[in-house]
Amino acid sequence: MKTKSIIMLAASAAFLTLLSCKPEAPDTGKEPDQPAGQGYIPGTLVAEDNRTEVTLREGTGETKTLGFRYVTDKELAEARTVTLAVDEASTLPEGNYTMPESLTVEAGSDSSDMLELTFKAEGLEAGQYTLVLREVLKEEDDVKASEPLEFNVTVRTPQEATYGFLPDYVTVCYVNTNDYQPLLADATILQLMKRRADPINYYPFNIVNLRTIVLKDNDGRAELVLGRDMEHVLANRAKYIVPMQDKGRKICLTLEGGGTGLGFCNLTDGQIDDFVAQVKKVIYDNDLDGVNFFDKGAAYDKAEENGLPAMNTTSYPKLIQKMRAALPGKLVTLADYEEPTAYFHDTEATGGIKVGKYIDYAWSGYMEREQPLQILDPWGLVDPNDPKVKEAETLVLENLGLEGCFSLKPYERKPIAGLTPDRYSNFAFPYNSNEWLFKNEEELLYTLFTFAYCGWWRSNVLVFGDIMSNHQNEYEGTWNTVVQMYYEYVLPSRLFGTGEYSYNIVENREDYSEDETLFTFYGWFSKDWE
C-alpha cells in the first residue's frame, strides 16, 4: 500500500509539473475595438455625399460648411475616439477653417455623428487651396492610419456688378432650364430714359426662380426630382448661378407637381418632413437662396386611382411652415394659383396656420402664354366708379391714341392670412408671342395702367413668367417687348403726364464681352448641354 501511495504522489507531482510548463496561448491581439492586433476594425474618414469641393469668393466674409464622419468596417464592441489633425500637405491657412479635434464612434455603431468643417474666405487671395485631415495614432498603436481626407478649396474673384437693381422694387422672373441657361436672366439691361440725359442702366431681375423641379410619388415617398437639366445646372453652378449671385441676385428653386397625383395638398406629416429635408439639402449643398412654391401639375385627379389621399386643406400650409423653419434666412415665396391656395385666407381650414407669416412674397400664378392677363384682387381694391378711372382713360388717349374703356374684371381671390398687400403682386406678366401682344395691346396696356394709376396696386413686386430669348418664330423680339411694356405702363413713366422719362431694354453685352457668341440674334443663352 505504501508503494502504491508513493507512485500516486509521484504521478500527481508530474502532472502538476506538466501544467506549470504548459506553453502560453498565442497572442490574438487586442479586443476588436482596440487599435492593435488581429482584431482591429479599420475605419475611414468620409465626406458627406463625397462633397470635397468648396468655392469661396475673394474679398468677402463668406463661409461654407461641409460635413464629414468616421466610418468603421463593422460595428465596434466598445467606443473608439479618433483624434484629428491637419496634414502638413495642406495649403489652406490655419485661420481659414474650423474643425473638431476629435470624433467618437459609439459602442454598437459603425459610424460617428456627422461633424462640421467650416471654411472661411476672409483674407484669402484668389487661387487653389487644400485642407487635408488625417487620423492621429498613438506610438503604441500597431495599426495603419486611415487614408487622409482631402478638401479642395477654390477662391474666385467675384464678378462685379456693372449696374444696380431698380430702386424700391423687387423684380421676379422664371427661367425654365429645360430650354435656357439661367444666365438668360442676366442677359438684359433696363434703361431709364430721361429727356436730354444719358440713360441710367439697371439689372431688371433680382429674384430668379429656376424650374423645372417636381414632387413625385415614388412607392409612397414624396420624392424631389431635379431632372437632368437642373442636375446639370447645379453641378455647374459656378458657371450658371454664381455670377448672378455675385451681383446680388437671389437664385431660388421653383417646386411644382410631378403629375403622379401626389402634391403639396395631400402629403402626410411624415412625407412633409422627408420632402422638406430633401429640399433643404439641395438648397444648402448648392448655396441657393430659397424656394418658390408653385402647386401646379400635381394631377390630383389621379390620386384615387394611384392609391393616394385626396386633397386636404392642412397639408400645404404645414409644408410651407416647416420649409420656413428649415430655411432660416432664405427666401420662401408662393405662386397663388387655383384650388391649392384658394383657402389660405381661412385659418380654420388651414389648422390655424397663417401662411402669410411664413412667406416673404406671393404673386399671381396665372401667367400662361396666350391667355389674357389675369389681375387678382384679394383685398377688393378695384372700384370701377373711382374718378381716377376716367383720368386714366384720358391719359391713355392723349399719350397713346388708344380708346380706353374700363373692362377690368379682376379674378376673385381671398387675401392670404398674415400677408399684407405690399408683399403681393396682383399680376404676373406672361411672355407671349408678338402676335398676341399686338392683338391685345390696347386692352393690356390700358388695364395695367389703370390698375396702377388708380392706386389699386399696393405692391412693389414685379413678376414675369418664363422669360425667353429671341427665336426665329412667333416669339421673335418678345424678350425685350414684353419687359419694356411692363415697366413702361406699370411704373411711373410718360403716361403719368410728366413726359420726363420712359423705359428701354437693351442687351447686357458689357458683362459678357469675352463671349460675344452668346448674343447671336436667335436663341441666345439657350441651354448649351444635351
> Is 33 a domain residue?
no
Does 148 share its domain with 250? no
> Is 1 a domain residue?
no
**pLDDT truncated to tens, each residue of the chain (530 aa)?**
444 443 344 444 444 444 444 444 444 444 444 444 446 899 999 999 889 999 999 999 999 999 999 999 999 999 999 999 999 999 999 999 999 999 999 999 999 999 999 999 999 999 999 999 999 987 666 778 889 999 999 999 998 999 999 999 999 999 999 999 999 999 889 998 887 788 999 999 999 999 999 999 999 999 999 999 999 999 999 899 999 999 999 999 999 999 999 999 999 999 999 999 999 999 999 999 999 999 999 999 999 999 999 999 999 999 999 999 999 999 999 999 999 999 999 999 999 999 999 999 999 999 987 777 788 999 999 888 899 988 888 887 777 676 655 566 667 799 999 999 999 999 998 877 777 776 676 677 778 888 888 999 999 999 999 998 876 667 776 667 777 877 877 887 666 655 577 888 888 888 887 776 666 667 788 899 98
**CA–CA separation, 204 and 429 (whole Å):** 14
> Is 452 a domain residue?
yes
User: With the C-alpha atoms ordered 17, 19, 24, 26, is the resulting torsion angle positive or negative?
Assistant: positive
Does 409 share its domain with 282? yes
> Is 35 a domain residue?
no
Number of domains in the chain: 2
Instruction: Give Cα separations from 408 to 363, 377, 383, 413 (angstroms).
Output: 18, 11, 10, 15
Last residue of a domain, one of 122, 156, 190: 156
* Set of cell numbers at residue 437: 401682344
Does 88 share its domain with 223? no
> Is 18 a domain residue?
no
Does 151 share its domain with 182? no
Closest C-alpha among 471, 518, 526 to residue 229: 526
Does 379 share its domain with 483? yes
**CA–CA separation, 247 and 510 (whole Å):** 14
**For residue 513, how many other CB atoms are within 10 A of its CB?**
9
Last residue of a domain, one of 109, 130, 156: 156
**CA–CA separation, 291 and 237 (whole Å):** 16
Q: Which CATH number belongs to the domain containing residue 92 in this structure?
A: 2.60.40.1740
Does 117 share its domain with 216? no
Does 185 share its domain with 301? yes
- What backbone phi and psi angles, to 5 degrees, belong to 2? -65, -45
> Is 134 a domain residue?
yes
> Is 9 a domain residue?
no
Specify the amino acid at residue 486: Y
Running DSSP on this structure, what letter comes out for residue 78? S
**CA–CA separation, 462 and 205 (whole Å):** 9
Last residue of a domain, one of 129, 156, 183: 156
Does 487 share its domain with 348? yes
* Set of cell numbers at residue 217: 410619388
Does 241 share its domain with 314? yes
> Is 411 a domain residue?
yes
Number of H helices, E strands in the chain: 10, 22
Does 272 share its domain with 329? yes
**CA–CA separation, 202 and 192 (whole Å):** 8
**For residue 170, how many other CB atoms are within 10 A of its CB?**
21
Does 150 share its domain with 295? no
**CA–CA separation, 27 and 521 (whole Å):** 79
Does 380 share its domain with 490? yes
* 3-state SS, residue 250: strand
Q: Which CATH number belongs to the domain containing residue 429 in this structure?
A: 3.20.20.80
Determine the structural domain holding residue 199 and report its residue range: 164-519
Instruction: Give Cα separations from 504 to 34, 191, 487 (angstroms).
Output: 73, 5, 9
What's the pTM? 0.85
Closest C-alpha among 113, 147, 115, 118 to residue 133: 147
